[in-house]
Structure 1
Amino acid sequence: MTWTEAIAPLRNRNFAWYFASRFVNTLGNMMASIALAFAVLDITDSPIALGQVLAARTIPMVALLLYGGVIADRLPRTLVLQVSNVGSAASQGAIAALVLSGHAEIWMLVVLSVVQGAVSGVAFPAMASVLPQLVPRSELQPANALVSLTRNGMMVLGPTAGALLVVTVGSGWALAVDAATWLLSAALLLPVTLPPKEPGAESADTVRELREGWTFFWATPWLWQVVLGFGALNFIHAGAWFTLGPAIADDTIGRQGWGFVLSAEAAGLLLTTVVLLRVRLERPLLLGMLGVALMAPPILLLGVSPHVVGLVVAAFLAGVGMEVFGMGWNLAMQENIEDGMLSRAYSYDALGSFVALPVGQLAFGPLAVAFGVEEVLVVSAVAYVAVVALVLCSRSVRDLPRAPATPVAQVTSGTS
C-alpha cells in the first residue's frame, strides 16, 4: 500500500468531514478527562467523590449501549452522532458554568455526568459502525488507520493540552473549551451524506430488533468468542494494570516513571497506526489476538520486577499489539457484517467488553490484599495468555480472512 493509497480516504468528501469531526471531538475528550478530575478535586479533595462522578457517566453509558445499537441501525448514523454531540455540549457546558460561577456541587456534577453517559451510550454504536457508509470497502483499513492515528495522537497531546488549560485559565474554562468542541464536532458532520436506509430499517419494534441482534451475535462464532474472551481480558487489564499499576508505581518507579510507561504504550499505539497505513493486515483476528497477548509481559514485570526501563519497553510492545487488535477487530466487523446489523453487533461487543471494566477495578484491590500483589499479578499474566490461547483454539477466529474489496452497501461518492 503506497502513501497515496494510505491517505485516499481523505479525498472522499464524506470521510474528510467525518475525520475532521472525530479529530475535534477526540481532542476535546482527552482534555476533558483532566479538566473534570481537577474540577471535582477543586470542590472536594475526596477521591471517592471523583469515583462517583466518573461512575455516573459509565453506568448509563453501558446500560444504553444495546438501545444505541438499535437506534443506529434504524436512523441515519450521522444524525445520531450530531444529537449526541449537542447533548454532550449542553451537559458539559452546564458543568463548566457551574464550576466557573462557583456554585458547583458534587451531586450536580453526578446528575450532569449521567446525562453525558446516556447520550454517549446511545451514540457509541453509531460512531463505531458508520465508516463502511463513508468509504469503499477497499479503503476501510486506511480509513480506520487514519481515525486511529487521530485518537492515538490525541492520547499523547490531549492530556497535556488539558493540563495546560487547567493551570493557566482553570478547570472551568477547560471544560467550556470541551463543550465548544462538542458543538463544533456536530457542525462538522452537517455536510456528510449517507446512503438511504434499506426499506424496513425504520421499524420501531425495539425488542424485536434487540432479539435479532442477539440471534446474529450468538450465531456468529468468531464474534461471540472474541467478545467473551475480551470480557475476561478487560477484567484483568482494568484490575491489574489500571488499578494495581499506579499503586505499585507509587512505591517503586514513582509517578513520573508510571507516566513514562503509559506514554510508551501510547507511542506503541501511534507508531503501529502509521505502519498500518501502509501494510495490509491479513488474518485480522489471528494477528489481533496474538497482538493482545503482548499485554501479559508488562503485567508480569509489574509484579516481579517493576523497573522503569523494562516496563517502558514492555508497555511499548503492548501498545503495538493492542493497535494491531483494534485494527483487526474493526476490519473483521466492518467487512463481514452487513450494514443493517453492524451497529447492533458493535453494541453487543461493547456491552460484553465494558461491563467487565468496573468489576476488575473493584475486585483487584481486595484480591491483592488477600493473596499479595505479586502473586495476583503473576496469576493475572498467566491467565491473560491462557484466555488468548483459548480464543485462538477457535478455527473461526484463526482463519477469518480479509473480505474481497467489494462494498457491502452502496457508499455515496462524495469524492472531491
Structure 2
Amino acid sequence: MPATDASEGRDRERPGRDALPVSRTDPAPGQPLRSSAFRWFLGGQSISLLGSAMSPVALAFGVLEVTDSAAWLSAVTTAALVPMLATLLLGGGIADRYRRDTVLRLTSLGAGLTQAGVALLLLAHQHPAFLLPLSGLNGVFQGLTRPALRGIVANLTAGRGIQRASSLLASVRNATQILGPTVAGLLTASVGGGWAIAADAVSFLLAAACFARMSLPDLLPRTEGGPTMLGELREGWSYFSSQSWIWAVTSAFAVFNALNRGVWQILGPVIAHDTIGAEGWGLVLSARGAGALMASVVMVKLTVRRPMGPALASMSLGALPLILLGVGASILWLAAAAFVAGMVAEFFTVVWETVNNTHIPERLLSRVGAHDEFWSSVPIPIGQLSTPFLAAFFGTAAVAVTGGGVAAVAMLVPLLVPSLRKIEINRNGD
C-alpha cells in the first residue's frame, strides 16, 4: 500500500482490530491495567526483563575472566546476534499469522532452556568456544520473540491506552535495567557470572508460565486460497519499503546501533575491566536505566502532538557516553552521561512504539516491526567484530570518540524527511 506519509497510510487502512481484535473479556482497552491479559503480559515481561538485564554484564565479565580477550567477547555476543537477525523476518511472518501469546510462551520456554545451558558452562569455567552453539540457538528464539512483542500491545489495548501500555512496559523494563546490572556486577564479582545467567534462565521459564495465562482472541479462519507465508512476507516488505518515515528512521539506527553496540558493549567492558571494574560498570549501566525509567514514567501522561522531531533530535545525545568513554572520563561523568542517554533513548522508544501502533495496520505490525529491527540491526555484527581491530589499529580513544560523533549526526539525518516531522499522535480516546 504506497503512501507518502503516515496520515495517508492511516486513512487508507485504519490500524483497527479487524484481523485480531482487542480482547473484549476486559472492559476498558484504553486502560491497560484493567485488562487481565495485559497484567499477565506485564508480569511475564517484568520477570523476563529482570533476568535479561543481568545477562550482558554477567556474560561479558564471565568471558573476560576466562580469556581476557575482547575478540572472544565479540565472538560470543555476535554468535547470538547473527541467528537472531536471520530469523527476525520469519518471526514477523509467524507473529502476524499465528496468535502472538502462543508464540511468546514457546519462545520463552526455548530461551530459558538455552540460557540454562550457558549458565552451566560458565559455572564449569568452560572455554567460551563451547558457548557459541547455545548462544546461536538463543539468538534464534530472540528472533522469533521480538516481532511478537512489537505487535502484541495492539492486541491488548487501544486508543490512548497504546501509549499508556507502552510507557508502563518501558517503566518496568527500565526499573529492571537499574536493578539488574548492579546485581549482576555484584554476583559476578563475588560468585561468578554463571549464577546471574542461571537467574536469567529461570526468568524466561517463569515468563512462559505467565504468558500461558494470557488469552488473546482466536484468529479469523483463513480462507481457502489465501496468501501463503511467503506472500505475507512480501506484503510486509512492500508496506515497509513504501513508507519513507519508517525506513528513514531504520536507516539512521542502522548506523547508530553499529557504532553504539561496537563501542559501548565491546570496548566498554574492556575499558571498565582495567579501570572501574565490574561493579563500576554495573553502576554506570544502572544509571542509564534510571534515566530511562524517569522518561518512561513521564511518558505515561505526556503526549507530544508531533513527537518525531523532538525524539530524533534528543537521540543525538545518546552518543555522548561513547565520547566520554573515549576520553577517559571518570565514573561520575560516565554515569551522568548514561543517565541522559537513557532518558532520550526511552523517550524515543515510547514515541516510536506509539507511532507504529497508531499508524501501521495491526495485521502488519509484526512484519513491519521485524523489517525495522532487521535492517537497523544488520550492521551490528560488523560493528561488534570490527571494533576490537579498529581499536588496536587506531587506538581505543579515537574509535570511541569518532564513533560517538558519527552516531550523533546519524540521528539528525531523518529530520530531512518532511513526512516524518508531520506525524501526529492521536490525543483522543481513553
Normalized against structure 2, the TM-score is what? 0.82
Q: 1:34 to 1:386 in 2, by over 3 A?
A: closer
The answer on 1:84 being equivalent to 2:107 is yes
Task: Give the Cα–Cα distance (whole angstroms) in 1 for the partners of residues 248 and 32 of structure 2.
Answer: 31
> What displacement does 1:155 show?
1.1
Corresponding residue for 1:186? 208
Q: Which residue of 1 aligns with 2:134?
A: 112
Secondary structure of 1:137's aligned partner: coil
**Contact map agreement 2:174 2:292 (CA 8 A) in 1:** yes
What are the superposed Cα offsets for residues 52-86 of structure 1, whole Å, 9 maximum, x if unpaired? 33322221111100000000000000100011011
Question: Residue 336 of structure 1 contacts residue 403 of structure 1 at CA under 8 Å; is this kept in 2?
Answer: no
Gaps of 5+ in 1: 408-416
Preserved CA contact (<8 Å) 2:178 2:287: no
Q: Matches of 2:243 and 2:109 in 1, distance apart?
A: 35
2:314 to 272, 287, 291: 291
Q: Helix, strand or coil: the match of 1:189?
A: helix
- Quote the residue 1:217 is aligned against: 240
The question of 1:59 aligning with 2:62 is answered: no
Determine which of 337, 341, 346 is the counterpart of 1:314.
Answer: 337
- Rate the CA distance shift 1:293–1:208 in 2: closer, same or farther, 3 A: same
TM-score normalised by length of structure 1: 0.84
Output one character per residue of 1:212-261: Cα deviation in whole Å (capped at 9) or x when no partner: 11110011110011001111111222234444445556677777665554
**Contact 2:62–2:194 under 8 Å retained in 1:** yes
Residue of structure 1 equivalent to 2:403: 380
Change (3 A) 1:151 1:197: same
- Give the structure 2 partner of residue 414 of structure 1: none
Q: Sequence identity of aligned pairs in percent?
A: 37
Instruction: Report what 2:17 is aligned to.
Output: none
1:144 paired residue number: 166
1:275 aligns with 2:293: no
Q: Is the 8 A contact 1:284 1:328 kept in 2?
A: yes
Question: Take 1:68 and 1:83, find their aligned partners in 2: how far apart are those partners?
Answer: 12
Paired with 1:167 and 1:251, the residues of 2 have a C-alpha distance of 14
Distance 2:77 2:395 in 1: 28
Q: Which has the higher mean CA deviation after the structures are superposed, 363-372 or 151-160? A: 363-372
Which of 360, 382, 392 is residue 359 of structure 1 equivalent to? Answer: 382
What letter matches 2:179 in structure 1? Answer: L
SS of corresponding position for 2:212: coil
Within the candidate set 16, 31, 35, 2:39 is matched to 16
Tell me whether 1:339 sits opposite 2:362 in the alignment.
Answer: yes
Match of 1:348 in 2: 371
Contact preservation (8 Å) 2:82, 2:381: no
* Distance change in 2, residues 1:253/1:45 (3 Å): closer
Q: How many residues align?
A: 401
Distance 1:123 1:372 in 2: 37
Distance 1:362 1:98 in 2: 23
Q: Which moved more, 1:336-345 or 1:137-146?
A: 137-146
Residues 237-287 of structure 1: per-residue CA shift (max 9 Å, x gap): 223444444555667777766555433322211111121122223323222
- In structure 2, the partner of 1:413 is none
Root-mean-square deviation (Å) = 3.2
Q: How does 1:165-184 map to 2 (within 5 A)?
A: 173-184=195-206
